[in-house]
């Protein structure tokens, strides 16, 4: 940095790197270089500003001399990243009695005095740091009395007259801004926005364009795209005879930019000015490779661009803008991909309430998690699960949620809670799940026992009533309100096509149901990476048979129950195969512990006992007998598969029979079967023997040949370490990074909520390892496993399923490990694909990043 | 093996390796080489026997010719390991009409006919494999009629006359024995005793010594140590005019060996024979480096040793015999150490019921786990835990136990169940814990609700009544029955001293209480490797304060409750420091989740609510709020320590204040403080900051200097992988292999019982990984962690605490990894020390193993 001047003129032929002078200085330099009418400006470098804060003032007099002695300038902050904020812009620096007198002549006394008085007030409060209350009695009406009063207060408080030397003023302004940047509040605020502890600030000193005076004069702001959609349109305001952002101030009757029936417009006042702005914007768009928003001033008919920044844009607009820029040749496709934050796609993918639809709001609360959903009210997690099992959308309504509700939240379409804040359990979890959620809803009272929700005006909702929850706006509405379906074609589709072009890792979806599978196909996945079969057993009719199996006395009885589940499973799989149309479908064999299928409450056990004509004591005893201290580490997965082999045999048969069926109707299907919770190679060997036998039997019965691929889910640290052994009988390994993270950390995800935020805040964990894959621990196990598996079987297919498969940072890690594919929930597929494409683009073309206008 | 003769004469100058000819052949060869009167014998090698089974008979005629044509021989099995068993010995092979006639002349017709008839019967059943029922009508009374009848049945069944050619007979005998070895039953039996699938069998053909005839003739068996204790004494029986082991047959009035008031004795009948046996035994003891038992025959006044094997010995006797042999110079001390199975020491260490004490037995059951214990009856695991918390020994009495009872079993001194077999949950777990246990006790009926146990004769026991459980004998007795304290001095002490000499890895004990610590010191440990502090909070008075802390509203209230626990903890630690007298004491900070301290049943919650003057709903809500899905992976250990820092602060203060106190009274104490459940280095850093601050405060208040060592427990796979980071702020790492195994496998020990036996039987796991450390998975993590920790901090102290620390195979692994010490429960300290010494001895002196007589 030392080779850069402490004070640098902005313009053509001047190197104004962002890292030295900040983003704004760089941007203004570009605009000047493009020949746009940006008033003369000089940047003070980050090291120079640090020097100023430490007491080393550069030569201010010669700096002011560069502006030709007229001496009125503005000072703006130029942090390295725009998001970090910075001290407030100060206008009219250099105004003193002398210049005031001149301005009186030029602008008239009222306007000149208004300006001077405003400057005195701002300088007093923001630079001299006087208490603003000291000036409370003064109303700046442009009168000499108001000015005199302001100057008098200044003198009384400071024990000296208001500074008359412009250099003196500017020196104080620079020092004040440099020091404000170092202040505790500013530091905390910018660190909250991701700034490093040594975040640097540059400053810009710019000739004032007054916005006052003869001819059309005034100031405003404008951008040429619609922030919500990114369509080309003109948005902004203009205020005649004003400066800076006065047009934005409430109470000021600012004009529209274009002709508008609601009021006056710049277009009417000065069509030339508008034409200039449009011309300038088009030049800037191509030259700066982005659509900008501008702060502009018209001084006696001449239009000046004082400041510029990337135009405001919603996530949806960001997609459109990036695609339009690329299609207009302003940026490359690679750069377009980098312009969209993958995580933000989520807002495009979720439905939103149609703002024009009629709706009866019955509760308002916090906007805990965006998106909208409607469904039947359920008051318990269990009810949510059984509702989901019947494919009946539901909204979980609770006083507040707790870890026990997590599975219910997974099953619900939306969440509404009576209590809780933005960091309550419900809010945190819902955001994690991408589930619309309103918390702390005022005006409702729940009675979960009676299963009612009562509003403050006495309206009573019962379980099963339909409501709509709008997490984007923090409201809950009666009945089903019209939604805007997410718009997944147009620019989005184009961007996704480009992402697919550069994405060099496979993307599959986790899909358990036909609906999931269809949704996955609509996002163009390369297959299903994880089909969890257990959800299939929670549907009412199947649950009963499942329970009969659990209560069976011996293998024969168990098999009889399973025989009744077989046709249902077969049609489940056949349907998935048909939807996926020849794309690979990876089916995980039954995984959960059996006790998940038994009721928990005494009442429900009594019901079950009645239904099965068993003494309730037997039901209780069975439930007790199956109860586990740590179900995650208990009798489930392959352990259950080997202890009760009939289950896997039934599932294998269902898969193979469905394979035969689907292959008859369409492309040949090669099912992938995955064994869960393996910790020793012999588990794979034994299951393989069972499944091979079933395959042989089905082949024999059907007379049709088919093949299948057997793989292992790597979820235990031991499986990762022994991946070389596992690979011998596994065509593929899929890392179940949810469980692998839980076991590597010794940390139950369901129970971690109680301390995870403390841990992340205290930086014990840099991030929640369930959101972003822990490279240092879990990542090392993945690395070891991949190496060993490939050494044992070079053609082995390696993948990650589980929620990390949809997380951009984790996907980058998977790419670096050379995994074949990631699998994530269908709605994260676009996010995953874009993230992978970005990672690939960054790897091949570092330079493209520079094209991002900051 | 091909260089060894298929048939080898036993004796001096003949190489008869165990691996080729079997253990018995090797032993007899040694005895003959020592010049002892063992009849001429030839060994058939293992390959030759395999050949015989496959139909390749060696030249039998020339083999028989080596015996000088007299032709009567015995055939004995000689498996490579004695424990594998083998076909029954066959005597008098070669007997035919011709020799019968000669024997009639020599022994008289009755004796000769008795012998021949017996041979015909045995040959028919064991060699010709005729149905023994065919001979049911024949009573071998030495009459010609009986003989004729036997020969007639043979001829009728076999359709040929009884073979008269001795070579023919011998050939059939050899083939029959060779094939019997290959039979399924024999194979399963020996594999159950640990034989490999290709276990080899040798055979021995030996000249018969008849034990009949003129002068003193007969046969018997003898050994010169008492089997129960190993004291020098003579035990055996002798039967005049008999063969083989007839002296052992019930109903035969065999003589004692030495003069005995209960009957006749060999000492009286033939003092010379006894003197011979004593002389032979002494020679054999030195020459074979072990005390043997003998099968002997006196033939017309001459004493022959037909067979020998290591003398019978209990675990206690094995210790005495090994020490005596070494002290007599028959073996080295190293060899003496190898003579005792470490696991068997357990039987020396546990009290046994005094067989002479009066006792009233009220129930008999299965001998599920050895040792005896007495205590008050408790009918629930919870009652057992609270009884243990009050240092009140208890016996857990249950219908049967289930995983929920495990903690109760940990707390009980003994277990008695109404139901269950040798592989029931109670039996398996009790053996694992070294807990006396009787299962399937007949004659008792429990009513756990009323808390009574009723015997079949109507006697009623209530909770709190004292009983004694004798797992060694499978009985339960009324009241406290006199015990034999384990004898831990004498030979045991000597052996332990030798073990300490060769043991090159530190042995510490896991000790939570003063009683544990004293017990540990009595076994000469090098310190306490794991003091679990949570048990200290279960005592009645402390539990109340603990619960007040749990219900505290804020940190101040929590601290107030903890302030009341502080003096109790301080005196706990001070007492441990005093008992350990300057030896290191490693204290693990509070580890369990808080909900373990709250009651579970509705009634107990009501009680607690009353006691704390809280609404019961609040108690329930708190318990609900603390409930976890997977408590092992939840808010416990360092996570709790960082979430509620007051707990660790109180404990650190208690430790440091106790350090100051104890250092005043005795040797300076350097406490070791260990952080549980770490998964990230920053957890250690943060706890270190807290504890350093407390240390500084205590130093300041007391004005006394002290130091402490902070270490980390490696229990999560991630901690193992990140051991290099952890080492930076850890003076030591201790591998908590129980939890590490659970997390590496994703397997809860409490829940694994349901399928562990299936898994071990199907060889999914070669052994229960909670008993023997899994080298391939957990072991690799240990290895990685050790390497990384040492690289980061070469002087770091590494150890294993947890039950693997007391398992011989696991200890061998720890030695191979160069760990500094293992820590195990006090009663396993001798086992650990002996196992470590054996492993060291084996490593330095492979040859010593050959000295073990098989």
* Cα dihedral B223, B226, B227, B228 in deg (nearest 10): 180
Q: Is the pLDDT of residue A831 over 90?
A: yes
User: CA-to-CA distance for B168 and A103, rounded, in angstroms?
Assistant: 140
Which of B425, B535, B595, B804 is catalytic? The answer is B425
- The least confident of A40-44, A611-615, A842-846, B199-203 is A842-846
According to DSSP, the β-strands at A466-470 and A372-378 are antiparallel
Query: Residue B299, Cα to own-chain centre: how many angstroms?
Result: 42
A620: tokens are 């209780």
B232: tokens are 């020098």
B401 interfaces chain A, CB cutoff of 8 Å: no
Check the CA dihedral B405-B406-B411-B412 and report its sign: positive
Q: Please give the residue that has the higher pLDDT: either B749 or A551.
A: A551
According to DSSP, the β-strands at A302-310 and A460-462 are unpaired
- The least confident of B3-12, B631-640, B662-671, B749-758 is B749-758
Mean confidence (pLDDT) of chain B: 91
Rounded to a whole number, what is the distance in Å from the CA of A844 to chain B's nearest CA? 32
C-alpha separations of A403 from A746, A749, B649, B847 in Å:
17, 9, 29, 61
- What is the model's pLDDT at position B192? 79
Q: Please give the residue that has the higher pLDDT: either B667 or A658.
A: A658
Rg over CA atoms, chain B: 33
The mean pLDDT of A764-774, rounded to a whole number, is 89
A136 interfaces chain B, CB cutoff of 8 Å: no
B595 annotated active-site: no
Q: Which residues of A514-530 are buried (b: 16+ CB within 10 A; e: fewer)?
A: eebbebbbebebbbbbb
B721, A686: Cβ pair inside 8 Å? Answer: no
- DSSP sequence for B435-475: --EEEEEETEEEETTTTEEEETTS-EEETT-EEEEETTTTE
A-contacting residues of B 735-794, CB under 8 Å? 739, 742-748, 750-752, 754-755, 758-759, 762-765, 774, 776-778, 780-781
Rounded to a whole number, what is the distance in Å from the CA of A558 to chain B's nearest CA? 18
A633, B747: Cβ pair inside 8 Å? Answer: yes
- Render pLDDT for A174-186 as a digit per residue (tens, 0 to 9): 999 999 999 888 8
- What is the model's pLDDT at position A2? 52
The mean pLDDT of A77-101, rounded to a whole number, is 94
Rounded to a whole number, what is the distance in Å from the CA of A716 to chain B's nearest CA? 6
Q: Is the pLDDT of residue A57 over 60?
A: yes
- What is the model's pLDDT at position B731? 98
Q: Chain B partners of A629 at a C-beta cutoff of 8 Å?
A: 403-404, 631-632, 748, 750-751
- What is the model's pLDDT at position A850? 43
Confidence of residue B403 (pLDDT cuts 50, 70, 90): low
Check the CA dihedral B765-B766-B768-B771 and report its sign: negative
B746, A677: Cβ pair inside 8 Å? Answer: yes
Pick from B632, B716, B755: which is nearest to A630 by CB? Answer: B632
Cβ contacts of B349 within 8 Å, gap of 6 or more: B486, B488, B827, B830
C-alpha separations of B296 from A554, B401, B588 in Å:
55, 50, 61
What 3-state DSSP class applies to A434? Answer: coil
According to DSSP, the β-strands at A585-588 and A528-532 are parallel
- What is the model's pLDDT at position A775? 96
Strands (E) located in A213-286: 218-225, 232-240, 255-256
A629, B750: Cβ pair inside 8 Å? Answer: yes
B762, A686: Cβ pair inside 8 Å? Answer: yes
Rounded to a whole number, what is the distance in Å from the CA of B777 to chain A's nearest CA? 5
Phi/psi at B633 (5° precision): -110, 25
B283: tokens are 């020679």
Tell me the helix, strand and coil percentages in chain A, rounded to 5. 50, 20, 35
Q: Chain A partners of B759 at a C-beta cutoff of 8 Å?
A: 639, 642
What 3-state DSSP class applies to B113? Answer: helix
A744, B716: Cβ pair inside 8 Å? Answer: yes
User: CA-to-CA distance for B652 and B650, rounded, in angstroms?
Assistant: 6
* CA-angle at A350, arms to A849 and A474, nearest 5°: 105
Q: Is the pLDDT of residue A673 over 80?
A: yes
Rounded to a whole number, what is the distance in Å from the CA of B765 to chain A's nearest CA? 7
Q: Chain A partners of B774 at a C-beta cutoff of 8 Å?
A: 718
Check the CA dihedral A467-A470-A471-A476 and report its sign: negative
Nearest residue in chain B measured CA to CA from A748: B633
Rounded to a whole number, what is the distance in Å from the CA of B387 to chain A's nearest CA? 22
B781, A686: Cβ pair inside 8 Å? Answer: no
- What is the model's pLDDT at position B849? 44
- What is the model's pLDDT at position A357? 83
ipTM of the complex: 0.83
A627 interfaces chain B, CB cutoff of 8 Å: yes
Say if residue A689 is exposed, middle or buried (CB neighbours under 10 Å; 0-12, 13-18, 19+).
Answer: exposed
Phi/psi at B69 (5° precision): 80, -5
- Render pLDDT for B154-202 as a digit per residue (tens, 0 to 9): 999 999 999 999 999 999 999 999 999 998 888 888 887 888 888 999 9
Q: Chain B partners of A635 at a C-beta cutoff of 8 Å?
A: 751, 754-755
Of A62, A72, A77, A79, nearest to A112 by C-alpha is A72
Phi/psi at A678 (5° precision): -75, 140
B777, A625: Cβ pair inside 8 Å? Answer: no
pTM: 0.84
User: CA-to-CA distance for B4 and A815, rounded, in angstroms?
Assistant: 62
Q: Chain B partners of A723 at a C-beta cutoff of 8 Å?
A: none
Rounded to a whole number, what is the distance in Å from the CA of B616 to chain A's nearest CA? 18
Confidence of residue A626 (pLDDT cuts 50, 70, 90): confident
- What is the model's pLDDT at position B70? 63
A642, B777: Cβ pair inside 8 Å? Answer: no
- What is the model's pLDDT at position B844? 66
B780, A631: Cβ pair inside 8 Å? Answer: no
Q: B537-542, long-range: CB within 8 Å, 24+ apart, which pairs?
A: B537/B565, B537/B590, B537/B597, B538/B385, B538/B386, B538/B388, B538/B389, B538/B597, B539/B389, B539/B390, B540/B386, B540/B389, B540/B390, B541/B568, B542/B568
Percent of chain A with pLDDT over 90: 68
A632, B635: Cβ pair inside 8 Å? Answer: no
Q: Chain A partners of B748 at a C-beta cutoff of 8 Å?
A: 628-630, 632-634
A746, B632: Cβ pair inside 8 Å? Answer: yes
Tell me the helix, strand and coil percentages in chain B, rounded to 5. 50, 20, 35
Rounded to a whole number, what is the distance in Å from the CA of A554 to chain B's nearest CA? 16
| Mutation to test the B interface, candidates A633, A643, A677, most B Cβ within 10 Å | A633
Confidence of residue B100 (pLDDT cuts 50, 70, 90): very high
Q: Is the pLDDT of residue B847 over 50?
A: no
- DSSP sequence for B789-830: HHHH-TT-EEEEESGGGG-HHHHHHHHHTT-SEEEE-GGGHH
Q: Are A412 and A391 in contact (CB under 8 A)?
A: no
* Distance separating the N- and C-terminal Cα atoms of chain A: 19
A679, B746: Cβ pair inside 8 Å? Answer: yes
Confidence of residue A566 (pLDDT cuts 50, 70, 90): very high
- The least confident of A499-513, A525-539, A838-852, B106-120 is A838-852
User: CA-to-CA distance for A527 and A520, rounded, in angstroms?
Assistant: 8
- What is the model's pLDDT at position A382? 87
What 3-state DSSP class applies to A265? Answer: strand
Q: Is the pLDDT of residue A854 over 80?
A: no
The mean pLDDT of A227-234, rounded to a whole number, is 90
| Mutation to test the A interface, candidates B429, B628, B633, B769, most A Cβ within 10 Å | B633
- Render pLDDT for B535-556 as a digit per residue (tens, 0 to 9): 788 776 788 889 889 988 888 9
Give the helix ranges, DSSP H, for A253-302.
266-269, 271-288
A686, B764: Cβ pair inside 8 Å? Answer: yes
- What is the model's pLDDT at position B848? 46
Confidence of residue A70 (pLDDT cuts 50, 70, 90): low
Mean confidence (pLDDT) of chain A: 91
Q: Is the pLDDT of residue B530 over 90?
A: yes
CA atoms within 13 A on the CB side of B8: 31
Pick from A744, A754, A765: which is nearest to B717 by CB? Answer: A744
Q: Chain A partners of B755 at a C-beta cutoff of 8 Å?
A: 635, 639, 642-643
Q: Count chain A–chain B contacts defined by CB atoms under 8 A.
A: 178
- Render pLDDT for A345-397 as a digit per residue (tens, 0 to 9): 877 887 888 777 889 999 998 888 888 999 999 999 889 988 988 889 999 99
A751, B632: Cβ pair inside 8 Å? Answer: no
Nearest residue in chain B measured CA to CA from A743: B743
**Count of positions (residues) in chain B:** 854
B643, A754: Cβ pair inside 8 Å? Answer: yes
B814 annotated active-site: no
User: CA-to-CA distance for B69 and B63, rounded, in angstroms?
Assistant: 10
Q: Which residues pair with B149 in a beta bridge?
A: none
Q: Is the pLDDT of residue B755 over 80?
A: yes
A530: tokens are 């994880």
Phi/psi at B55 (5° precision): 105, 5
Q: Which residues of A270-309 are buried (b: 16+ CB within 10 A; e: fewer)?
A: beebbebbeebbeebbebbbbbbbbbbbbbeeebbbbbbb
* Distance separating the N- and C-terminal Cα atoms of chain B: 19
Pick from B630, B716, B755: which is nearest to A639 by CB? Answer: B755
Which of A350, A425, A595, A804 is catalytic? The answer is A425
Q: Is the pLDDT of residue B768 over 90?
A: no
* CA-angle at B279, arms to B276 and B281, nearest 5°: 105
Q: Is the pLDDT of residue B366 over 70?
A: yes
B830: tokens are 């001798």
- Render pLDDT for B409-456 as a digit per residue (tens, 0 to 9): 888 999 999 887 776 778 767 776 778 999 888 889 898 888 999 998
| Mutation to test the A interface, candidates B405, B407, B628, B630, most A Cβ within 10 Å | B630
Residue B263 neighbours by CB distance under 10 Å = 11
- What is the model's pLDDT at position A430? 79
Rounded to a whole number, what is the distance in Å from the CA of A312 to chain B's nearest CA? 40
**Helix or strand holding residue A445 (H, E):** strand A444-447
B114: tokens are 């008795």
B629, A780: Cβ pair inside 8 Å? Answer: no
Nearest residue in chain B measured CA to CA from A683: B764
Q: Chain B partners of A781 at a C-beta cutoff of 8 Å?
A: 717, 721
| For the ranges A33-37, B3-7, B83-87, the one whose mean pLDDT is highest | A33-37
Q: Please give the residue that has the higher pLDDT: either A840 or B613.
A: A840
B155: tokens are 């001829």
């Amino acid at each position: 940095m030392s080779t850069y001047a402490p004070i640098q003129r902005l313009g053509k032929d001047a190197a104004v790197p962002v890292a030295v002078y900040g983003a704004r200085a760089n941007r203004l330099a570009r605009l000047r270089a493009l020949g746009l009418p940006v008033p003369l400006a000089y940047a003070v470098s980050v090291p120079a500003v640090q020097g100023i804060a430490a007491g080393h003032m550069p030569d201010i007099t010669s700096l002011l001399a560069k502006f030709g002695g007229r001496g009125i300038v503005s000072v703006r902050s130029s942090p390295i990243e725009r998001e970090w904020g910075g001290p407030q812009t100060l206008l009219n620096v250099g105004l003193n009695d002398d210049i005031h007198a001149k301005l009186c002549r030029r602008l008239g006394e009222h306007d000149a005095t208004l300006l001077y008085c405003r400057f005195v007030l701002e300088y007093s409060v923001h630079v001299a740091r006087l208490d603003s209350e000291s000036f409370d009695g003064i109303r700046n009406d442009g009168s000499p009395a108001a000015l005199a009063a302001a100057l008098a207060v200044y003198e009384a408080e400071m024990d000296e007259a208001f500074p008359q030397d412009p250099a003196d003023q500017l020196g104080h302004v620079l020092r004040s801004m440099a020091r404000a940047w170092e202040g505790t509040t500013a530091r905390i605020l910018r660190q909250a926005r991701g700034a490093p502890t040594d975040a640097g600030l540059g400053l810009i000193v710019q000739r004032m364009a007054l916005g006052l005076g003869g001819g059309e004069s005034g100031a405003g702001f404008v951008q040429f795209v619609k922030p919500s959609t990114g369509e080309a349109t003109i948005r902004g305001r203009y205020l005649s005879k004003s400066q800076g952002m006065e047009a934005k101030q409430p109470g000021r009757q600012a004009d529209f930019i274009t002709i508008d029936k609601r009021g006056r417009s710049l277009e009417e006042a000065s069509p030339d000015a508008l034409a200039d702005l449009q011309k300038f914007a088009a030049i800037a768009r191509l030259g700066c490779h982005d659509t900008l928003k501008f702060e502009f001033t018209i001084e006696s008919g001449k239009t000046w661009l004082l400041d510029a920044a990337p135009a405001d844009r919603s996530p949806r607009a960001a997609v459109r803008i990036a695609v339009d820029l690329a299609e207009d040749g302003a940026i490359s496709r690679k750069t377009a991909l980098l312009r969209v934050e993958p995580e933000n796609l989520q807002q495009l993918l979720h439905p939103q309430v149609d703002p024009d639809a009629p709706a009866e709001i019955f509760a308002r609360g916090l906007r805990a998690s965006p998106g909208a959903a409607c469904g039947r009210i359920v008051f318990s997690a269990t009810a949510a699960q059984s509702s989901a099992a019947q494919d009946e959308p539901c909204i979980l309504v609770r006083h507040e949620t707790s870890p026990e509700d997590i599975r219910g939240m997974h099953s619900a379409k939306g969440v509404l809670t009576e209590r809780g804040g933005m960091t309550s359990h419900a809010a945190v979890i819902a955001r994690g799940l991408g589930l619309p959620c309103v918390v702390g809803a005022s005006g409702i009272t729940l009675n979960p026992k009676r299963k009612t929700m009562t509003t403050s005006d006495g309206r009573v909702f019962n379980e099963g009533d339909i409501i709509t929850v709008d997490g984007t706006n923090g409201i809950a509405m009666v009945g089903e309100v019209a939604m805007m379906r997410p718009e997944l074609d147009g620019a989005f589709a184009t961007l996704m096509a480009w992402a697919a072009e550069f994405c060099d890792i496979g993307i599959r979806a986790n899909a358990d149901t036909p609906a999931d599978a269809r949704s996955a196909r609509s996002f163009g996945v390369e297959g299903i990476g994880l089909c969890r079969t257990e959800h299939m057993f929670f549907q009412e009719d199947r649950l009963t048979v499942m329970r009969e199996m659990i209560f069976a006395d011996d293998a024969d009885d168990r098999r009889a129950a399973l025989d009744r589940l077989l046709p249902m499973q077969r049609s489940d799989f056949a349907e998935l195969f048909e939807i996926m149309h020849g794309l690979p479908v990876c089916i995980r064999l039954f995984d959960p512990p059996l006790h998940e299928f038994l009721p928990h409450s005494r009442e429900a056990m009594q019901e079950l006992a009645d239904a099965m004509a068993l003494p309730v004591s037997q039901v209780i005893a069975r439930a007790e007998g199956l109860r586990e201290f740590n179900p995650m580490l208990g009798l489930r997965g392959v352990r259950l598969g080997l202890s009760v082999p009939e289950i896997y045999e039934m599932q294998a048969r269902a898969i193979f029979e469905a394979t035969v069926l689907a292959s008859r109707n369409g492309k040949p299907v090669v099912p992938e079967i995955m064994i869960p919770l393996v910790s020793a190679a012999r588990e794979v060997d034994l299951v393989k023997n069972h499944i091979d036998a079933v395959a042989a039997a089905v082949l024999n019965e059907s007379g049709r040949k088919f093949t299948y691929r057997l793989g292992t889910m790597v979820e235990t640290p031991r499986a990762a370490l022994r991946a070389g052994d596992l690979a011998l009988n596994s065509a593929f390994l899929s890392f179940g990074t949810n469980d692998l993270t839980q076991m590597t950390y010794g940390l139950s995800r369901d129970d971690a909520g109680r301390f995870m935020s403390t841990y992340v805040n205290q930086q014990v964990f840099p991030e929640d390892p369930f959101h972003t894959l822990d490279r240092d621990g879990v990542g090392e196990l993945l690395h070891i496993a991949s190496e060993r598996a490939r050494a044992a079987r070079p053609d082995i297919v390696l993948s990650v399923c589980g929620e990390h498969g949809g997380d951009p940072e984790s996907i980058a890690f998977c790419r670096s490990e050379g995994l074949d594919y990631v699998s994530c929930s269908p709605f994260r597929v676009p996010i995953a694909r874009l993230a992978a494409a970005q990672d690939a683009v960054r790897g091949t073309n570092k330079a493209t990043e520079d094209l991002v206008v900051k």
